[in-house]
Amino acid sequence: MAIRKMLNSRWRWIAAALLVTVAAQCAASGNGRVVWPHRMGQGLNNVESGPQNTGPMVVLLHGLARTKLSLGRMEKALLKAGYQTCNIGYPSRHYTVEELAERYVLPAIVRCQAANKNSENREPLHFVTHSMGGIILRQLLAAGLINPIANSVMLAPPNKGSELVDKLANLWIYDVVNGPAGNQLGTLETDLPKRLGPITGPVGVIAGTKNRSPMLSLLMNGEHDGKVSVASAHLDGQQDFIRMHVTHTFMMRNDDVIGQTKAFLANGQFHH
């Protein structure tokens, strides 16, 4: 009887929304390929650098429960524009943000810098991040693990946390799918996004406003992309900010998003 009452309550909607979230995580780990949760984060520690370019280096950091393949189209566009790239894969579901930044992302950056083909242009680095990748960049900066950055772009970053985490983190399946780092991304003042403080460097933020899941909308307020609200994407110290009608999951593959990213990397501002 208690279970029946629960299923007839708001928890039914939360459970349904969680299933949609899990399905989205499973289906969107690469270029449309299905990667089931138990395989996410496996074999992701290698890095890639643009083999022919000698321009500035751009570090790409994917989001939670994704792989570096999710930023493949963005990387190709940056290579075509003359940048060197360092597209880093890391086991996002298995460690905290602090551990991921120091144990996986930082060593990969060091390896990319060592392979930099322009010895006169080793610093500063540009970054392009998606979702939790932006929090990892903030952690690297806050901990003093990397030097000041050049023009960088965050795509749909939960800079003030995500309401979905507030509502779903206590469910065991959320922890199974998203791991320790996923539980750090809430909106409380004690959660990591709020504790990292303002950005120190020229950063532009792109927030999505397109949501394909009405059920997830029940758990969020205001404009959002299905996982991160526009309000949460804002970052203290940001240099520029734009909204785009794209979804959280696939925004990094959108041609207009790629164009705006290249504009900010080159000029420190988006096209308005």
pLDDT of residue 13 exceeding 60: no
Mean pLDDT of all residues in 43-58: 63
pLDDT at 119: 59
pLDDT of residue 2 exceeding 90: no
Q: At 91, is the secondary structure helix, strand, or coil?
A: coil
pLDDT of residue 132 exceeding 90: yes
Range from 23-27, 54-58, 181-185, 231-235 that averages highest in pLDDT: 231-235
Cβ neighbors of 23 (< 8 A, separation 6 or more) are none
116-130 exposure pattern, b = at least 16 Cβ within 10 A, e = fewer = beeeeeeebbbbbbb
The two tokens of residue 83 are: 């940048």
pLDDT at 267: 96
pLDDT at 52: 62
**Omega within 30 of 0 (cis) for the link into 124:** yes
pLDDT of residue 257 exceeding 50: yes
Mean pLDDT of all residues in 102-128: 85
Mean pLDDT of all residues in 206-233: 85
Q: State pLDDT tens for residues 185-212.
A: 999 999 999 999 899 889 999 999 998 7
Look at 213 and 18; give whichever has higher pLDDT.
213
Look at 37 and 145; give whichever has higher pLDDT.
145
Helix 172-182 to helix 10-27 angle (10° resolution) is 50
Q: At 166, is the secondary structure helix, strand, or coil?
A: helix
Cα-based angle 240, 244, 250 (whole degrees, multiple of 5): 115
Distance, in Å, from the CA atom of 25 to the CA atom of 63, rounded to the nearest integer, reads 10
Range from 22-31, 33-42, 124-133, 180-189 that averages highest in pLDDT: 124-133
Distance, in Å, from the CA atom of 58 to the CA atom of 152, rounded to the nearest integer, reads 8
Q: Tell me which DSSP letter residue 229 carries.
A: B
Instruction: Look over the chain and give the mean of its residue pLDDT values, rounded to a whole number.
Output: 82
Q: Which residues is 244 bridged to in the sheet? A: 208
